[in-house]
Amino acid sequence: MTASPSLVARTGSLFHRYANPGRFLRLAARLQPWLTGLALLFTFAGLGWGLFFAPADWQQGDSVRIMYVHVPTAILASSGYAALALCGLLSLVWRHPLADLAAVEIGPVGACITAVCLATGSLWGKPMWGTWWVWDARLTSVLVLFFLYLGHIALIRAFDDPQRGYRAAAILALAGAVDLPIIKFSVQWWNTLHQPDSITLTGAPTMSSSMLWPLGLSMLGISLGFAAIVIARLRAAVMESRVRSLLSNPRRRGDAA
Amino acid sequence: MTRKTRRLWLVIACVTCLGAAAALMLQAFSSDIVFFVTPSQVEAKPPPADRTVRLGGMVVAGSVKQEKQGETPVSRFDVTDGQAAVTVRFEGILPDLFREGQSVVAVGTMHKDGFVASEVLAKHDETYMPKEVAEALKKSGKWDPRFGPPPSAESWNTMTAQDAQKTKANPDSPAPAATKP
């Protein structure tokens, strides 16, 4: 290594500070009640407001309320996969042990949320578009994302040596990240049945603020819920690996003696 | 260069190559990825009569004619993309969101006397507004849904249902949302 630490080394040390499982467990234990509590609070507030108090849309009527579940899950499906790809990068380049465990735990949660997104989208499509499913670019690319999640879940558990599984799954996660810009821009690049985004960085949201507020709340709540579930699973995984090593170590020592 | 730096560059190179490959593939297949063709595309290059195509565009205001042949409702309407218009004939029940000025996708075949659809899908746009706000915009003459999308979102997205009702009761005063800086 050179005298002045390179950017790569510095980035690595930043992540390695939290690679220490003991430090992660302490931090996560403190965060967990806040995450869970705020997630429940915001989700119930956002969904309650959206489902019962927000106005109905002028042309879609009450069907528009599916949006308060569909949009947050759609955003999380992509963000969850982005997190999976980040874990893959950390795992391949810096051999970050916690990133491997995180990838194992994010996969199933992300797959569930993608399934919810597809299901609510289908339920919304039938009354509005007149069809449960079409093979347009947005819908198809999200279905591909769902299969990428399933592939990742299967691959990371497919080997007897977990390290090999982590490696293969990290490569799949990074390669699959190509799908994320396709999902995001599919509605701009090609004509689709799915409408373009209402909330953009450049323009004013094409949505009444009386619908935007509950949507923002439920988005915040469901995202915090995603984080809370992943952190809880990750804590359990770290503790499990500690228990395993505790259980196997004395036996090994006993064998050697 | 440390091993970590080398691995990082290797990963970046692989992802870049993969991204470029995906982009080229999507570029090559882009005419197959589009969900529908527009009336001007159909007019310029009519597809053969035995080929099913999806035709997308806006329903022209005043062009919808509905009649009943026995028990089945038959509707005719023009679909336009602003440059060309194609007449669509459809036997069956139209989706709830179908109206003049709405974007639709008709699945069917092109014949000499027009497009015969076997299925009509309604496409809704990305605007979401309460009924009262839509009524107020229509009343104030800023928007007629039969002729296309609503005015720019800044002019109405902070308007509440109460504001809209006030505007409706007193149409001379400007909408409160519009007076905001």
In the DSSP assignment, the letter for residue A61 is: B
> What's the gap in Å between the CA of B138 and the closest CA on chain A?
12
pLDDT score for A143: 96
How far apart CA A104 and CA A210 sit, in angstroms, is 39
Domain-embedded: residue A148: yes
Domain-embedded: residue B178: no
Region at A119 (left for phi over 0; alpha for psi -120 to 50; beta for the rest): alpha
Domain-embedded: residue B177: no
**Phi and psi, residue A119, nearest 5°:** -65, -45
Q: Which of B10, B16, B27, B35 to mutate to test the interface with A (most CBs of A within 10 A)?
A: B35
pTM for this predicted structure: 0.87
pLDDT score for B179: 40
Confidence of residue B124 (pLDDT cuts 50, 70, 90): confident
pLDDT score for A16: 66
pLDDT score for A255: 52
Q: What is the mean pLDDT of residues A135-157?
A: 94
pLDDT score for A12: 65
Q: Is the pLDDT of residue B164 over 60?
A: yes
pLDDT score for B167: 65
pLDDT digits (tens, 9 = 90+) for A12-29: 666 666 667 888 889 999
Domain-embedded: residue A98: yes
Q: Is B20 in the A-facing interface, judged by CB distances under 8 Å?
A: no
CB-count exposure of residue B124 (10 Å: 0-12, 13-18, 19+):
buried
pLDDT score for A117: 96
| Alpha carbons within 13 A on the beta-carbon side of B150 | 27
| Residue B152 sits in the same domain as residue B165 | yes
A130 or B147: which carries more pLDDT confidence?
A130
How far apart CA A5 and CA A11 sit, in angstroms, is 10
> What's the gap in Å between the CA of A86 and the closest CA on chain B?
12
Domain-embedded: residue B181: no
Q: Is the pLDDT of residue B44 over 90?
A: no
β-strand partners of B68: B73
Q: Which of B8, B120, B130 sits opposite A8 (nearest CB)?
A: B8
Q: What is the mean pLDDT of residues B99-112?
A: 89
Number of folded domains in chain A?
1
Segment holding B108, helix H or strand E:
strand B103-111
| Alpha-carbon separation of residue A150 from A169, B22, B38 (angstroms) | 11, 21, 36
Domain-embedded: residue A54: yes
Chains A–B, number of C-beta pairs less than 8 Å apart:
148
Residues spanned by the domain of A127? 30-194+211-242
| Residue B108 sits in the same domain as residue B40 | yes
Q: What is the ipTM of this complex?
A: 0.82
In the DSSP assignment, the letter for residue A63 is: G
Confidence of residue B180 (pLDDT cuts 50, 70, 90): very low
| Residue B42 sits in the same domain as residue B118 | yes
- For chain B, the average pLDDT equals 83
Strand B114-123, strand B85-91: pairing: parallel
B18 or A251: which carries more pLDDT confidence?
B18
Q: Is the pLDDT of residue B160 over 80?
A: no
Taking CA–CA distances from A193, the nearest residue in chain B reads B123
A189/B30 touch (CB, cutoff 8 Å), yes or no: yes
| Residue B57 sits in the same domain as residue B82 | yes
Strand B114-123, strand B72-80: pairing: unpaired
Q: Is B2 in the A-facing interface, judged by CB distances under 8 Å?
A: yes
pLDDT score for A83: 95
How far apart CA A169 and CA A154 sit, in angstroms, is 9
Q: Is B3 in the A-facing interface, judged by CB distances under 8 Å?
A: no
- For chain A, the average pLDDT equals 88
Chain B stretch 72-101, residues whose beta carbon is closer than 8 A to a beta carbon of chain A: 95-97, 99
Q: What is the mean pLDDT of residues B69-73?
A: 84
pLDDT digits (tens, 9 = 90+) for B46-66: 888 888 889 999 999 888 888
Domain-embedded: residue B110: yes
**Phi and psi, residue B64, nearest 5°:** -80, 125
Q: Is the pLDDT of residue A80 over 90?
A: yes
Side chain identity at B18, as an amino acid letter? L
At residue B171, the 3 state secondary structure works out as: coil
**Sequence-separated (6 or more) residues with CB below 8 Å from residue A6:** B2, B5
Residues spanned by the domain of B162? 131-172
| Rg of chain B, C-alpha, whole Å | 24
Taking CA–CA distances from A192, the nearest residue in chain B reads B35
Number of folded domains in chain B?
3
Chain A stretch 76-105, residues whose beta carbon is closer than 8 A to a beta carbon of chain B: 89, 92-94
β-strand partners of B75: B66, B90
pLDDT digits (tens, 9 = 90+) for A162-207: 899 999 999 999 999 999 999 999 988 888 889 888 888 887 888 8
Of chain A, the percentage scoring pLDDT greater than 70 comes to 89
